[in-house]
Amino acid sequence: MVEVMQTVLLIEDNRYDAQLISTLFKRLPECRVLYAADAETGLTLAMSESPDLILLDLGLPDMDGQTVASILKDMPASAHIPLIAVTAWPPATARDMAEAYGCDGYISKPFNANAFLAEIKRFLKQDNTASVETLL
Amino acid sequence: MNLSSSIPTYPSTSSLPEVLPPLLMRPASAFPLEALTDAYNQTRIDYIIPMPMNVTRLREYIHNYDVALEHSAVALADDQILGLALLGIRPPRTWITRLGVLPVKRRRGTGQELMEYLITRSQDLQAQQIILEVIKNNTPAHTLFRKLGFEEIRELLVVRRPPRAALPSAPPYSARFLPSETALSLLQQRRSCPSWLDEFPSLCHAGNMKGLEVHLESGEWGWAVFQQTSFQLGRLVLQAETRDEEAVVRALLHALHTAHPHHDTTYENLPAADPYWPFMQEAGYLLSFTRIEMQLSLK
pLDDT in tens, B105-142: 777 899 999 999 999 999 999 999 999 999 999 999 99
What residues form DSSP beta bridges with A85? A56, A106
pLDDT for res A126: 55
pLDDT in tens, B168-227: 889 999 999 999 999 999 999 999 999 999 999 999 999 999 999 999 999 999 999 999
The answer to whether the CB of B102 falls within 8 A of the CB of B39 is yes
Closest CA to A61 of A95, A92, A36, A30: A36
Amino acid code (one letter) for B127:
A
Closest-CA distance, B268 to chain A, in angstroms, reads 13
Chain A residues within an 8 Å CB radius of B51: 59
pLDDT in tens, A65-75: 999 999 999 99
Centre a 10 Å sphere on the Cβ of residue B192 and count the other Cβ atoms it contains.
13
Amino acid code (one letter) for B271:
P
pLDDT for res A125: 59
Strands (E), B136-274: 151-161, 173-178, 209-216, 221-228, 232-240, 264-271
Closest CA to A116 of A15, A37, A10: A10
pLDDT band of residue B244 (cuts 50, 70, 90) is: confident
The answer to whether the CB of B43 falls within 8 A of the CB of B101 is yes
Could you read off the pLDDT tens digit of each residue along chain A, which spans 136 residues?
556 789 999 999 988 889 999 999 999 988 999 999 999 999 999 999 999 999 999 989 999 999 999 999 999 999 999 999 998 888 888 899 999 999 999 998 888 899 899 989 988 855 444 443 333 3
Q: Do A59 and B50 touch (CB under 8 A)?
A: yes
ipTM over 0.85: no
Q: Do A88 and B46 touch (CB under 8 A)?
A: yes
Q: Do A88 and B50 touch (CB under 8 A)?
A: yes
Q: Do A59 and B48 touch (CB under 8 A)?
A: no
Work out the percent of chain B whose per-residue pLDDT is above 90. Answer: 84
Taking each continuous run of H as one helix and of E as one strand, the counts in chain B are: 9, 12
- C-alpha to C-alpha distances, B244 to B32, B90, B100, B223, B240, nearest whole angstrom: 52, 35, 44, 13, 8
Amino acid code (one letter) for B89:
I
Query: Rounded distance, CA A115 to CA A11, Å?
Result: 19
Interface of B with A in 88-147 (CB under 8 A): none
Q: Do B41 and A67 touch (CB under 8 A)?
A: no
Q: What is the pTM of this model?
A: 0.88
The answer to whether the CB of B52 falls within 8 A of the CB of A65 is no
Chain A residues within an 8 Å CB radius of B232: 64, 67
